[in-house]
Amino acid sequence: MSTTPFISVRDLSIGYGDRVVQQGLNFDIHKNDIFFVIGGSGCGKTTLLKHMIGLIAPSKGEILYEGVNYYDSDDETQLTLLQNWGITYQSGALFSSMTLAENVALPLQLYTDLSEKQIAETVAYKLALVGLAGYETFYPAEVSGGMHKRAGLARAIALDPELLFFDEPSAGLDPISSLRLDQLIVQICKALDSTVIIVSHELPSILSIGTNCVFLDAQAKTMLDAGDPKHLLHHSPQEKVRQFLSRAGTAETER
């Protein structure tokens, strides 16, 4: 694994207008990491993601993608970065009036010069990768919640992104579907040589597939620790982090 950070977050403040949600964030994400953003409800995990995917400019500090600051870049550089990012939203956010295949085809039609035949082949391949071969002509309302999430993932990987963002990918899934989704994320990360950033509360996911993480604290309005969650579970100097990862302090940290 390369030691040069793929993403560097430096003295970052995040929030909305004058409202600071988190400050003093400093951490690195390495290529091929499965990086979790963790912490209690309302601490700012989704807010951090919004800053990382180009939706909200930080009020202070910077996020560097292989040395490039999205917010300081020209339109062309921003578009190149955006095309290398796959984003799946909590709800899946598929277009309900379009079939699964049409949903996955959309980014390919918008951003590539592929022919209709090539697009159809790519769509079939991506749907097969997430275990949805044969469901091309189904509408989002005609598939289960877990299939909906996997179709959202197929759309997010349509352009072979080098960076994939997920906000609570397994929320609302049963433990088995959640485990399958974790395995799928690892498999896709390997197949596409991608780096993954996941917001999640799911301890089994965090501890089984996470290679790196940052813990945000709502009270302190800053990160308490960062690193491999399996290591932090026993060795974080912050009791709150150890408690969170062992579920011991759940009631207190999620208030």
Chain residues in the site for Mg ion (CB under 5 A) = 46
Given Mg ion, ligand ATP, none, residue 84, with its beta carbon under 5 to 8 Å by kind, binds none
Query: Counting beta carbons within 10 angstroms of the beta carbon of residue 166, is it exposed (0 to 12), middle (13 to 18) or buried (19 or more)?
Result: buried
Q: Helices 145-156 and 116-129 sit at what angle, rounded to 10 degrees?
A: 130
* Minimum gap (Å) between residue 17 Cβ and ligand ATP: 7
240 interacts with ligand ATP by CB under 6 A: no
47 interacts with ligand ATP by CB under 6 A: yes
Q: Starting from the edge strand earliest in sequence, which strands make up the sheet with 68-69, in order?
A: 19-29, 7-16, 60-65, 68-69
* Minimum gap (Å) between residue 143 Cβ and Mg ion: 24
Contacts to ligand ATP from residues 136-195, by CB under 6 A? none
Given Mg ion, ligand ATP, none, residue 23, with its beta carbon under 5 to 8 Å by kind, binds none
User: 241 is written with which tokens?
Assistant: 């982090």
122 interacts with ligand ATP by CB under 6 A: no
Q: What letter does residue 166 receive in the DSSP assignment?
A: E
Alpha carbons 184 and 174: distance in angstroms, whole number:
15
120 vs 171, beta carbon nearer Mg ion: 171
User: How many Å is the maximal CA-CA distance in the chain?
Assistant: 56
Q: Applying CB under 6 A, which part among 37-45, 75-83, 156-164, 189-197 lies near ligand ATP?
A: 37-45
* Minimum gap (Å) between residue 138 Cβ and ligand ATP: 29
* Minimum gap (Å) between residue 169 Cβ and Mg ion: 12
**Single residue of 4, 11, 42, 183 touching ligand ATP by CB under 6 A:** 42
CB atoms within 10 A of CB 19: 9
223 interacts with ligand ATP by CB under 6 A: no
* DSSP conformation letters of 170-237: TTT--HHHHHHHHHHHHHHHHHHT-EEEEE---HHHHHHH-SEEEEEETTTTEEEEEE-HHHHHHH-S
46 interacts with ligand ATP by CB under 6 A: yes
43 interacts with ligand ATP by CB under 6 A: yes
Site size for ligand ATP, by CB under 6 A? Answer: 10
* Minimum gap (Å) between residue 153 Cβ and ligand ATP: 19
CA 111: distance to chain centroid?
21
- State residue 67 phi and psi, 5-degree precision: 85, -5
List residues binding ligand ATP (CB under 6 A): 16, 19, 21, 41-47
